[in-house]
Structure 1
Amino acid sequence: MPTTPPAFTGLSAFPLTPADEAGRVDTDALQRLLSRVVEAKTNSIGLLGSTGTYMYLSREERRRAVEAAVECVGGKLPLIVGVGTLRTDDAVALARDAAAAGAHALLLAPVSYTPLTEEEAFRHFEAVAAATDLPLSIYNNPSTTHFSFSEALIGRLAGLANVSAVKMPLPKGGDFSGEIARLRAATPANFAIGYSGDWECPHALLAGADCWYSVVAGLFPKPALALTRAAISGNAEETARLDTSFHPLWQLFKTHGSLRVVYAAANLMGITKAQPPRPVLPLGSEAVRDIEAAISLLKD
């Protein structure tokens, strides 16, 4: 039986992709972010996810980002690369670019202006999964794509060669155990189930999820890794204790959106001066003061 790809287990850190106003990636700043993650020894890196603003970058700049990441990471950690885009042929090309540059796995969101049917989403994933030999994770992110995967569709996709994992949003009502059980019943034994939505992901791990796809780990990999390990070990008390220091940051994520918050935090930490891609605007001074106070609680 095939084993679960290690890229889709444990803690996957999703960093920013710093770029200038014209959308040219600052590879030096990107490598500074990645070096922190490599030093912390998370389980994988998620490049060009939503926090990595993949939809705001050209194919050329995405390729430059992957090449810079591969150069920095040097095979020390598995590198998952997001390849979502509007057209299927373009997503296939992005997948091939990532594979040629040295990525270890792919992440695909069904991005579309016209709402997709389940059959359209399936055919999209079928084409991209067949484009390379890399394991691929389904990116179920209805808040940005406006497409929500049914459990039946996830089960169908899990039958495709190379489709090895799913990155889920937080379940309604917080029923991680129930949702994970249903997904396990619909997918092969080696299929990995992970979650994003940082403020609830420790609970997902306690409930038996395979992976935390983490925004905060892109900036604070060491405390995020400690929290991950406590949750995976089933130590609810230690998980709650470690999670407390993140609570002010979680609240800011909910209030302002994690993307705006991590840009401000990265600026405060001196890692990059890059701002969010327009039309997303940087946060004002009052919010930045709150972010500074929140990140002071995290020992990295």
Structure 2
Amino acid sequence: MFSGLSAFPLTPLNETGIDETTFVHLIERLASSGVDSIGALGSTGSYAYLTRQERLRVAQLAVQHAGDVPVIVGIGALRTRDVLELAQDAQKVGVRGVLLAPMSYQKLSEDEVFGLFDAVTRSLSVPLCVYDNPTTTHFEFSDELHGRIAQLPHVASIKIPGVPADLDAARSRVERLRALIPAHVTIGVSGDAFAATGLNAGCDAWYSVIGGLFPQIALAITRSAQAGNVQEAERLSQRLAPLWALFLQYGGLRVIATAAELRGLAASSLPLPVKPLQGDVKQRLHAILDELELA
């Protein structure tokens, strides 16, 4: 479950609630595409903006419509109490795994983050993926902290935020982390522009934004890397460079939400005050999608 392509879909929503019909369509689309798992309620799924009841409903729908594809659900929240409640909800509806980021308003220490994971893993009956995303959480894990957390029960994967662009440097980065964690804990790369390099460098999984909307191109990159075809994986990723540039400038969530709108897959997917791309940038994205034949 924590290897291959994990596709992270949008949660289509507006200020009145979740667009359940559109969300179900996105989940069924992923389930039929051949992805290895579905990561509902990740950052791409706007988990931090949703109420507990909304998150419960999204988790229910994802599990009900994913078929045999394992569903992983984000359970991050500001308070440990709330994380524990979200974990309980997710397990009740039958998720196969959970994803936890150390969200905070006050900057957290390493001991505080370890305490969070210690408390949560003691309450779990399903495996957990450690969500290392300093762009959104503003917390930077050390490899040593990853090593401590990886010893806890139910920890099954670590989602790292990209790798160096140089393949040899990327391999060294993955090997340093690998040496500190148990053999059963997988390493997954996020930051879509770095995914091909990360997979080629020895990462087990790609936790993917683009895979949640356009799974076929993400699968092509993943399967090429898994087959040892380093050049093909990099070639496919480099072809998407104009898209990666927009991700870097505007954030993957805004870009992929706008792409969903342009392709008629989701009319509204962002919680205010976050807004999709507008004007010339939106037109540029439209042109890029057409050129790349992403639909």
Q: TM-score range by the shorter chain?
A: over 0.9
Q: Partner amino acid for 1:62? A: R
1:4-23 equivalences under 5 Å are 7-22=1-16
The answer as to 2:60 corresponding to 1:67 is yes
Alignment-derived partner of residue 41 in structure 1: 34
The answer as to 2:75 corresponding to 1:83 is yes
1:143 to 124, 131, 135: 135
1:161-240 equivalences under 5 Å are 161-171=153-163, 175-240=169-234
Aligned CA distance change for structure 1 residues 131 and 47 (closer, same or farther; 3 Å): same
CA contact (8 A) 1:246 1:298 kept: no
Q: What CA distance in whole angstroms lies between the structure 2 residues aligned with 1:122 and 1:54?
A: 22
Q: Partner amino acid for 2:192? A: D
SS in 2 for 1:194: strand
Aligned CA distance change for structure 1 residues 299 and 53 (closer, same or farther; 3 Å): closer
Aligned CA distance change for structure 1 residues 221 and 48 (closer, same or farther; 3 Å): same
1:109-120 equivalences under 5 Å are 109-120=101-112
Residue segments in structure 2 that go unaligned for 5+ positions in a row: none
1:254-280 deviation line (CA, Å, top 9, x unaligned): 121111111111011111111411111
CA contact (8 A) 1:193 1:209 kept: yes
SS in 1 for 2:13: coil
Length-normalised TM-score, structure 1? 0.94
Q: Partner amino acid for 2:117? A: F
SS in 1 for 2:69: coil
The answer as to 2:265 corresponding to 1:271 is yes
CA contact (8 A) 2:129 2:156 kept: yes
SS in 1 for 2:45: coil
Q: What CA distance in whole angstroms lies between the structure 2 residues aligned with 1:287 and 1:144?
A: 23
Alignment-derived partner of residue 4 in structure 1: none
Alignment-derived partner of residue 259 in structure 1: 253
CA contact (8 A) 1:202 1:231 kept: yes
> How far off its partner does 1:291 sit?
1.2
SS in 2 for 1:46: strand
> How far off its partner does 1:240 sit?
2.8
Bigger drift between 274-283 and 116-125 goes to 274-283
Aligned CA distance change for structure 1 residues 97 and 123 (closer, same or farther; 3 Å): same
Aligned CA distance change for structure 1 residues 207 and 172 (closer, same or farther; 3 Å): closer
Q: Partner amino acid for 2:178? A: R
SS in 1 for 2:5: strand
Q: What CA distance in whole angstroms lies between the structure 2 residues aligned with 1:234 and 1:251?
A: 26
Alignment coverage as a number of residue pairs:
292
Q: Partner amino acid for 1:242? A: L
2:240 to 246, 250, 256: 246
Length-normalised TM-score, structure 2? 0.96
Residue segments in structure 1 that go unaligned for 5+ positions in a row: 1-6
Q: What CA distance in whole angstroms lies between the structure 2 residues aligned with 1:147 and 1:240?
A: 29
SS in 1 for 2:14: coil
CA contact (8 A) 1:208 1:232 kept: no
Aligned CA distance change for structure 1 residues 172 and 204 (closer, same or farther; 3 Å): closer
SS in 2 for 1:152: helix
TM-align CA RMSD: 1.3
2:47 to 54, 64, 70: 54
1:286 to 255, 280, 284: 280
CA contact (8 A) 1:37 1:221 kept: yes
1:113-128 equivalences under 5 Å are 113-128=105-120
Q: Partner amino acid for 1:41? A: G
1:62-84 deviation line (CA, Å, top 9, x unaligned): 0000111111113x111110000
CA contact (8 A) 1:63 1:98 kept: yes
SS in 1 for 2:207: strand
The answer as to 2:27 corresponding to 1:29 is no
CA contact (8 A) 2:10 2:269 kept: no
Q: Partner amino acid for 1:69? A: A
CA contact (8 A) 2:11 2:269 kept: no
| Aligned residues with identical type, % of pairs | 45
